Amino acid sequence: MCQALFSASHHKEGRVIFDNLVRADQAAPHMYYFLIREYVLMQNVEQAFALFDDMCHRAIPLNNRTINMLAVACALDKNVSRATERLATVVACMRSWRLSPDMNFFVGLLKGYDRSSQHTMFDGLAAQLRARNSSTSLDLDKIIMQNAAKRGDTELTMAMAELVARSPGSIPSVVKILCKLDRADYVPELVPLHKFPDNNIIANVRLELAISDPKVAIQPHKLLKHALTMMERGFTPSFRLTRDIIDKIWLCGGRQLAIRAYEELTAAGAPKSVNVMLLALKLYSRDTTKEESIGVYEELREHLAAADFNALVLPQPAISALAMVLIEKRGIDAAQAAFDFLSTLPTLQANLPFTPLIQYYVNSNMVEKLEVLLRRIVQHDIPLSISGVNLCCEFLVANSKVIDVANFLRYLERTNTLDYVSDSVFEKFFAMCASEYRAIDFEWAVGALVKIDRKWTTWRVIIECLATKNTRVLSATVRLAIRLSTEKLVMAGMLLQATSTSAWRAVLADDVAAALRVYNIAASGPIQI
């Protein structure tokens, strides 16, 4: 039961059952192996080693399969010192059970290095293994082939594919690699598919070839027909191929045909993985006037709530579009609930739908909720979109003190999004500086503008604003901008260009000249404009 739940991505429910078995001393070694394998596949290394530690504590016997999976987990960790320490612990535990590292163990390390893109570690170990072993190892050849394809080494990939193809059980791996390299035309020569009986593996191999067929570009509907016919014959496409079919049809046949493919394939029994549903969410969210994306999200939510992923990539545009649909069709509470749930997932905070919520809170003058959201954004340095940045800035300059605006601008500098701010926001901020004058915030803001190399148009609106508000602050701005700039003549030229048609040009020119005299460069040549 526990294994079945994990296989269906119901990780949390399966883990509860497993933990109950552990407490009752009924958890068998093969169950530990199965859970460790699932966590490693999800790259959840911490959970995998927590189970290993529990096995050691309870003196649960280790077997080679568990050891090999722990080798993958060790190599997945890019922290070299921690990975080395864990590897030493695993090897010591192996020896206590009278086991020793074999080829499968070392291939496990290679798999981990491959998945974590530690190419130097991979190359070093692979070279040692090939030098030590005169006879070939299928698993070693296969991981070298996969790594070479991943790194674009076509020559090595093709050489290893010829070796791997000698084993009938490795045909899917070979075909997948050749299709990835756009060498599907080489498959008939290397793999005589007509000699194999029809089964689900061979059916998926033929489907892989159909996806890679150049004719799909002009006849994408035939790919859908191929998949549906395959399913009518009792075969099921893999999770990956189900997603690849829909993705390829979207690319070649457009969104509507891809939606049709998703609906017909899943209705016929094709598996709905998280990746398939995320793709469907992207498809449906392109039309924010319809509710279909909500249905996909609700189904996806059930899967994600039951799963225990270590990392998840959410398609930010689709998630934002979903939030807008939820606001329009179900109300802000439904959108906030979706936001709160997505916030619990192991994903980049920047992928969450902050902007739609900010827009709604600003337009509805829901100040308290907006302030809660802004505190979270600033505290965790979560980067916003251009529209999100300016919505927040416009709200703050209209409703807050200069210190609050300055602190938000500092957060934007930390997240490399300060240049998203519109000229009108900077104009209003410097107007606030002129009236509330806080030297520390004013000086930081001028320095930040110099650092991001803001264009002369921004300086123009700032100068025009300060000239009518407070000429003392204007003079301070000019002096400070030139002092903080590494290219003082260029900065001076930009300030003069900003006032080329302004009534304040003469006043500003005097300030520029005075600022340059401090550095004895007044007569160093014409100012660059």
More confident residue, 526 or 302: 302
Lowest mean pLDDT across 97-111, 242-256, 426-440: 426-440
**376 lies in some domain:** no
- pLDDT over 90, % of the chain: 50
Last residue within a domain, chosen from 133, 153, 178: 133
Q: Which two tokens stand for residue 238?
A: 């893999």
Flag whether pLDDT at 6 surpasses 70: no
**462 lies in some domain:** yes
Flag whether pLDDT at 135 surpasses 70: no
Q: How far apart are CA 177 and CA 153, in angstroms?
A: 12
What's the mean pLDDT in 21-36?
86
What's the mean pLDDT in 282-286?
91
Task: Say if residue 291 is exposed, middle or buried (CB neighbours under 10 Å; 0-12, 13-18, 19+).
Answer: middle
Flag whether pLDDT at 78 surpasses 90: no
CB half-sphere exposure, 25, CA atoms < 13 A: 3
Residue 255 has a pLDDT of: 93
**11 lies in some domain:** yes
**183 lies in some domain:** no
Q: Which residue has the tokens 């410097």?
A: 430
Last residue within a domain, chosen from 83, 113, 133: 133
Q: Which residue has the tokens 């300059």?
A: 397
pLDDT class of 523 with cuts at 50, 70, 90? very low
Flag whether pLDDT at 192 surpasses 50: yes
- pLDDT over 70, % of the chain: 96
**367 lies in some domain:** no
Flag whether pLDDT at 120 surpasses 80: yes
Lowest mean pLDDT across 34-48, 307-321, 328-342, 380-394: 307-321
Residue 125 has a pLDDT of: 94
pLDDT class of 25 with cuts at 50, 70, 90? confident
Phi, psi of 316 (to 5 degrees): -55, -45
Q: How many domains does the chain have?
A: 2
Phi, psi of 422 (to 5 degrees): -75, 160
**90 lies in some domain:** yes
Q: How far apart are CA 529 and CA 521, in angstroms?
A: 16
Lowest mean pLDDT across 60-69, 168-177, 330-339: 168-177
Flag whether pLDDT at 524 surpasses 60: no
The closest alpha carbon to 298, from 269, 277, 268, belongs to: 277
What's the mean pLDDT in 367-393?
93
| pLDDT tens readout for residues 210-219 | 999 888 888 9
Lowest mean pLDDT across 193-197, 297-301, 346-350, 464-468: 193-197
Flag whether pLDDT at 527 surpasses 70: no
Mapping DSSP onto H, E and C, the string for 47-86 reads: HHHHHHHHHHHHCCCCCHHHHHHHHHHHHHCCCHHHHHHH
Mapping DSSP onto H, E and C, the string for 202-238 reads: HHHHHHHHHHHCHHHHCCHHHHHHHHHHHHHCCCCCC
Residue 371 has a pLDDT of: 92
More confident residue, 298 or 195: 298
Flag whether pLDDT at 76 surpasses 60: yes
Residue 373 has a pLDDT of: 93
The average confidence (pLDDT) of the chain is 88
**Domain range for residue 522?**
422-529
Last residue within a domain, chosen from 108, 133, 158: 133
**280 lies in some domain:** no
pLDDT class of 469 with cuts at 50, 70, 90? confident
Q: Which two tokens stand for residue 267?
A: 């209705």
**407 lies in some domain:** no
Q: How far apart are CA 214 and CA 324, in angstroms?
A: 37
Residue 440 has a pLDDT of: 85
Residue 529 has a pLDDT of: 44
pLDDT class of 266 with cuts at 50, 70, 90? very high
| pLDDT tens readout for residues 137-152 | 889 999 999 999 999 8
Contact 301, 292 (CB under 8 A): no
